[in-house]
Amino acid sequence: MPRYYPVFIDVNKRRCVIIGGGNIGQEKVEKLVECDADVFVISPEVNPHVEDLASSQQISWDKREYQQGDLEGAFIAIAATDDNTVNRQIAKEAEDRNVLLNVVDVTHLCTFIAPSVARRGEVTIATSTGGASPALARTFREKLTTSRILEYADLAPILAQARAELVQRGVKVVPDHWQIQITDGLLNLVQSNKSDEAYKILMDGLLSEATPIPVS
């Protein structure tokens, strides 16, 4: 199996082509729409929700089978079909056009694979087994979703605010000291709707170790 390079891709306003509009295709469509992608679906039939998205012009839908040339201009492509011949044709075109491709459940035809994702607020945790066991990746996701670890995502807003303020002040804090400030106590304050108090404690701790950013 290849070793995949983990990365989060900005698909905002970029053309993403999905071939297939069944249950799996719908899942892919929904996730791309959430990320403001320019979604183009090719399939003779689609699920009702995909059809609704097309009717409301949130996505484009071409009601037909895949044809050679459909990946022209695509940023990424996803093949969600059960037809191995069509999947291989899509993979060949993706290779020729240098388009990133995910073929659902056919790892050897993929140039990227979709991880199992757990989200909370601004934080996304993606888990992949490199195609070895999707069930194991889902298990990680389910356990993370109910874990105290993912609750730390609730700190993202005040951490982002603190980061912006430090930049404005022209100072920096080493990563290790940032991590020291991320505590259960800070999280408890935020979850108790005491974000202002939490922010003051956070900034006091960060500024105690801040150093000026050198002027180039």
Mean pLDDT of all residues in the chain?
Answer: 94
Count of domains for the chain: 3
Of 127, 91, 119, the C-alpha closest to 4 is 127
- Shared-domain flag, residues 43 and 93: yes
**Which H helix or E strand runs over 213?**
none
- Shared-domain flag, residues 120 and 54: no
User: What is the model's pLDDT at position 213?
Assistant: 86
96, HSE (Cβ side, Cα atoms, 13 Å): 11
**Confidence band, pLDDT 50/70/90 cuts, at residue 155:** very high
Tokens 């183009």 sit on residue? 40
**Confidence band, pLDDT 50/70/90 cuts, at residue 216:** low
This prediction's pTM: 0.81
**Per-residue pLDDT tens digits for 162-181:** 999 999 999 999 999 999 99
- Shared-domain flag, residues 3 and 75: yes
Q: Which amino acid is at 20?
A: G
User: What is the model's pLDDT at position 136?
Assistant: 93
Given a contact cutoff of 8 angstroms between Cβ atoms, the answer to whether 59 and 33 are in contact is: yes
- Shared-domain flag, residues 79 and 156: no
Per the model's pLDDT, the better-predicted residue between 95 and 131 turns out to be 95
Of 162, 9, 27, the C-alpha closest to 76 is 9
- Shared-domain flag, residues 5 and 106: yes
- In the predicted model, is pLDDT for residue 215 greater than 90? no
Residue 100 DSSP symbol: E
**Per-residue pLDDT tens digits for 26-57:** 999 999 999 999 999 999 999 999 999 999 99
**Per-residue pLDDT tens digits for 54-102:** 999 999 999 999 999 999 999 999 999 999 999 999 999 999 999 999 9
- Identify the CATH number of the domain in which residue 26 sits: 3.40.50.720
